């Protein structure tokens, strides 16, 4: 299938896969965008309410506020208490959760299609009318501090965050999504309300859904819920066009090329080697995906074979690539005994040099193509993956593939 560009103002069919598989997009009068994919034969529906704000958009005094706000939206809204939200989904065997990323926040649910209207009503109320009460904020502050403590005790998490910080030195994308204990302790309710008012607006909202659904019915359901919330009111003078997508052009920040060692009282050493990568729309990103699979994307990858199978240096080793709207980075990871860390680093560096100088074999290329194709097909068997793909297409790339 070809890549299809999505015009910001377009409403209509984006893709018709035949057999009832249909991808559609509607832009409401207040700028809210709704994208759906019908999956014939599915009774489940996954739906996501995406806000175009992530940790990269925070002010220095509010690092972690986007993630903090995500937690608070589950603590109560105009028409639902925190208990009501949880109980409604538990009662029908559904799931509701949220995720804060560096460039977006998503509140998502998975339900049987007969319960989709309920999910829309609750998610709409959470996003448009959260209470943000001081008492709940103080309670959730403690939860987040414990979450940060758990992360700081995980060597793999620490080196992943440290690599991003060193490669994207001084850039907001290099910061941890959760923030720091110092900043989390200092954030006030006024700060949180200000952050909410700045970003939680109709033009920033994207709603995506996939599964056993009807696009027109969902648009009507969402419109009714937004009208009840006041986000469709003509008297509110709301912006009528969707917020623009992020710029894909940026100058890469200075990168720290020095070796960084962090000491923790743990048995294993977590090793990470990496550098600059590609943004989400760079035409070389497809080659990067193939290279990543060959280097460290499975049991037949070069890192796995050399570090684990031949040398027995580590149990877990892999490579990855992280891409954002304007920047990206890549890395190689292994967890090993402290005495073996230098050898692991040497192997990683050697594998990169070999890849650059000698390229890949025809067999590796064929195997990588097959692995990627299979992973894509298997991944799209579930409604949540397809819902997320629509969100990424709308907010990040502006392209449906």
Range 300-316 average pLDDT: 98
Determine contact, residues 328/320, Cβ cutoff 8 Å. Answer: no
Q: Which element (helix H / strand E) includes 399? A: strand 399-400
* HSE-up (13 A, CA, CB side) for residue 288: 18
Domain spans of the chain, in order of start? 4-244+390-400, 269-360
Dmax (CA) for the chain in angstroms is 69
Confidence at residue 247, expressed as pLDDT on a 0 to 100 scale: 85
Token reading at 193: 């309300």
**Percent of the chain with pLDDT strictly greater than 90:** 88
Confidence at residue 260, expressed as pLDDT on a 0 to 100 scale: 86
pLDDT above 70: residue 176: yes
Instruction: Determine how many CB atoms are found less than 10 A away from the CB of residue 174.
Output: 22
Token reading at 262: 């962090």
| Bridge partners for 318 per DSSP | 333
Range 45-54 average pLDDT: 98
Range 301-317 average pLDDT: 98
More confident residue, 379 or 124: 124
Confidence at residue 234, expressed as pLDDT on a 0 to 100 scale: 59
Q: CA-to-CA distance for 394 and 208, rounded, in angstroms?
A: 9
Tell me if domain 4-244+390-400 and domain 269-360 are identical in fold.
yes
Backbone phi, then psi, for 87, in 5-degree steps?
Answer: -65, -35
Which positions ≥6 away from 186 have C-beta within 8 Å? Answer: 61
Determine contact, residues 303/334, Cβ cutoff 8 Å. Answer: yes
Confidence at residue 254, expressed as pLDDT on a 0 to 100 scale: 79
pLDDT above 70: residue 314: yes
Confidence at residue 58, expressed as pLDDT on a 0 to 100 scale: 96
Q: pLDDT tens, 230-284?
A: 998 655 555 578 999 988 887 888 788 888 888 888 899 999 999 999 999 999 9
Query: For residue 3, what pLDDT band results from cuts at 50, 70 and 90?
Result: confident
| Catalytic positions, written as ranges | 70
Confidence at residue 77, expressed as pLDDT on a 0 to 100 scale: 98
Helix (H, G, I), strand (E, B) or coil at 189: helix
Of 384, 329, 297, the residue nearest 102 (C-alpha): 329
CATH classification of 269-360 is 3.30.830.10, yes or no? Answer: yes
pTM of this prediction?
0.94
pLDDT above 60: residue 395: yes
Determine contact, residues 324/312, Cβ cutoff 8 Å. Answer: no
Range 180-202 average pLDDT: 97
Helix (H, G, I), strand (E, B) or coil at 31: coil
Task: Count H helices and E strands in the chain, helices first.
Answer: 13, 12
Q: pLDDT tens, 118-139?
A: 999 999 999 999 999 999 999 9
Range 92-118 average pLDDT: 98
Fold adopted by 4-244+390-400: Cytochrome Bc1 Complex; Chain A, domain 1 (3.30.830)
């Amino acid at each position: 299938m070809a890549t299809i560009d999505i015009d910001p103002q377009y409403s209509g069919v984006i893709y018709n896969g035949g057999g009832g598989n249909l991808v559609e997009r509607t832009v409401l009068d207040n700028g809210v965008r709704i994208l759906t994919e019908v999956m014939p034969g599915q009774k489940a529906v996954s739906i996501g309410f995406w806000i175009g704000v992530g940790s990269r958009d925070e002010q220095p005094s509010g690092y972690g506020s986007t993630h903090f706000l995500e937690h608070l939206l589950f603590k109560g809204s105009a028409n639902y208490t925190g208990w009501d939200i949880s109980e409604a989904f538990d009662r029908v065997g559904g799931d509701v959760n949220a995720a804060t990323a560096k460039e977006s926040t998503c509140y998502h649910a998975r339900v049987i299609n007969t319960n989709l209207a309920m999910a829309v009503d609750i998610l709409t109320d959470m996003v448009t009318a959260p209470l943000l009460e001081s008492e709940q904020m103080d309670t959730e502050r403690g939860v987040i501090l414990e979450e940060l403590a758990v992360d700081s005790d995980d060597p793999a998490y620490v080196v992943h965050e440290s690599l991003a910080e060193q490669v994207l030195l001084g850039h907001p994308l290099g910061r941890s999504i959760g923030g720091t204990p110092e900043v989390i302790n200092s954030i006030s309710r006024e700060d949180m309300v200000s952050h909410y008012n700045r970003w939680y607006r109709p033009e920033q909202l994207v709603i995506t859904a996939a599964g056993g659904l009807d696009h027109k019915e969902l648009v009507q359901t969402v419109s009714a819920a937004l009208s009840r919330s006041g986000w469709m009111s003509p008297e509110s003078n709301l912006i009528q066009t969707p917020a623009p997508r992020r710029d894909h052009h940026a100058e890469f920040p200075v990168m720290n090329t020095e070796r960084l060692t962090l000491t923790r009282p743990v048995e294993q050493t977590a090793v990470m080697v990496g550098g600059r990568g590609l943004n989400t729309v760079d035409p070389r990103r497809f080659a990067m995906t193939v290279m990543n699979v060959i280097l460290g994307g499975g049991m037949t990858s070069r890192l796995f074979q050399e570090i684990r199978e031949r040398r027995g240096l580590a149990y877990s080793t892999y490579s990855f690539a992280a891409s954002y709207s304007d920047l990206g980075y890549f890395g190689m990871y292994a967890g090993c005994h402290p005495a073996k860390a230098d050898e692991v680093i040497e192997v990683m560096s050697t594998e990169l040099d070999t890849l650059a100088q000698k390229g890949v074999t025809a067999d590796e290329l064929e195997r990588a193509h097959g692995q990627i194709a299979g992973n894509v097909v298997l991944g799209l068997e579930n409604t949540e993956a397809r819902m997320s793909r629509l969100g990424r297409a709308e907010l990040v790339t502006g392209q449906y593939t």
